Amino acid sequence: MARVRKLELKARRLVRESFSGEYLSSFRGQGLDFDDFREYQHGDEIRFIDWNVTARMNQPFVRKFREERELSVIIAVDVSGSADYGSVEYSKREIAAETAAILGFSALNNGDKVGLVIFANEPILFIPPEKGSRHLLRMIREILVAKPDNPATSVANACDFLVRTLRRRSLVFLVSDFHSDPLDRPLGKLARKHETIALRVCDPLETRLPRAGKVVMVDPETGFETRINTDNPNLRMGYHKLMTRQHEGVTKLLHKHGIDHADLSTSGDTLAALHRLLKSRSRKRTR
């Protein structure tokens, strides 16, 4: 709880000082709510005429609508084995928890409801969207303490769960390193049904190995161990090319399905990456 409280104080400060306004300008309500009836006027949409009221009043009436401001925000967080890795100060899981706190408090300030999905090889926990700080603090705690029985990653299973479970159109933040296959069809299905934003959590050593001599590398999701010589320049180059190809492949898929995304590094400024994402979305809305 001390870690949760520390994250709460930091997130509240960041939201208050510099983030809440950008969130408001980037995300709006998902539709229209019926408000009232009024007499038909020249130029009104014919499809909004209410024929029952028109017949009763002997003159045409149309339905009035108001914009639905309240969003239903879902933060889906990958807590698989690789989420506990971090070569700098923080692990990917801690970066994900901080990001969830910033997004969550921004949403609450905007009057939106926030929910959580925690997943690894399969969805582990679903907390339906609600309002309130206590609700959000519980979400942050669950992200930090979740221990999956199977530490493998399946973004596909998480996407399928969200498509099946969320009845109304929602804003989904998908937080993962995306070291998972397959991604194409699951991401496409999710993006068609819900407004989806991908937040890819990365670590510097995942793209470029340091020269550290002979080391034993362990896959945190399968337990597989292998001994390599990091002084070998060909090995380091091959590793870098492989990881770059994987990174570019995921980026290409996100673009294909119209999913906005940001990269959050365990060594970088999470808030700066989120700022760039929201500014980009704001520019799109004003075009």
Alpha helix segments (H runs only) across the chain: 2-14, 20-26, 51-57, 92-109, 133-145, 155-165, 184-193, 233-256, 270-286
Burial of 152 (0-12, 13-18, 19+ CB in 10 A): middle
Beta strand 123-130 with 113-119 is antiparallel
Let me know whether 83 and 63 are in one domain: no
Residues 36 and 121 in one domain: no
43 and 143 housed in the same domain = no
Residues 194 and 111 in one domain: yes
* Residues 251 and 198: beta-carbon distance below 8 Å: no
199 closest CA partner among 274, 255, 124: 274
Write out the residue range of the structural domain in which residue 193 sits. 2-28+71-286
Cβ contact 115:75 at 8 Å: yes
pLDDT in tens, 157-181: 999 999 999 998 999 999 999 999 8
Last residue of a domain, one of 14, 46, 68: 68
Per-residue pLDDT band for 184 (boundaries 50, 70, 90) equals very high
The predicted-structure confidence for 198-256, as pLDDT tens digits, reads as follows: 999 999 999 999 999 999 999 999 999 999 999 999 999 999 999 999 999 999 999 99
166 and 55 in a common domain: no
What are the tokens at 166? 């969320």
Cβ atoms of residues 157 and 166 within 8 Å: no
CB 98 within 8 A of CB 175: no
Same domain, 184 and 231: yes
Q: What's the distance, CA 254 to chain centroid?
A: 13
State how beta strands 214-218 and 225-229 pair.
antiparallel
Check whether residue 42 and residue 142 sit in a common domain.
no
3-state class (DSSP) for residue 68: strand
Residue 141, pLDDT above cutoff 70: yes
14, 53: one domain: no
Same domain membership, residue 274 and residue 208: yes
Q: 282 versus 236: which is more confidently predicted?
A: 236
Residues 6+ apart with CB under 8 A from 216: 225, 226, 227
Q: Which residue has the higher pLDDT, 224 or 3?
A: 224
Q: Are residues 59 and 180 in the same domain?
A: no
Is the pLDDT at 62 greater than 90? The verdict is no
**96 and 49 both lie in a single domain:** no
CATH number at residue 96: 3.40.50.410
Number of domains in the chain: 2
| pLDDT value at 66 more than 60 | no
* Whole-number pLDDT of residue 153: 96
Give the pLDDT band (50/70/90) at residue 109: confident
What's the count of helices (H) and strands (E) in the chain, helices before strands? 9, 10
- How much is the pTM? 0.83
* Mean pLDDT across the chain: 89
| Residue 194 reports pLDDT greater than 60 | yes
Digit-coded pLDDT (tens) for 11-59: 888 887 767 666 766 775 544 455 578 788 766 767 778 888 888 888 8
Structure tokens at 285: 């809305």
Higher pLDDT, 252 or 271: 252
Helix (H, G, I), strand (E, B) or coil at 32: strand
Confidence category of residue 87, pLDDT binned at 50, 70, 90: very high
Q: Are residues 186 and 259 in the same domain?
A: yes
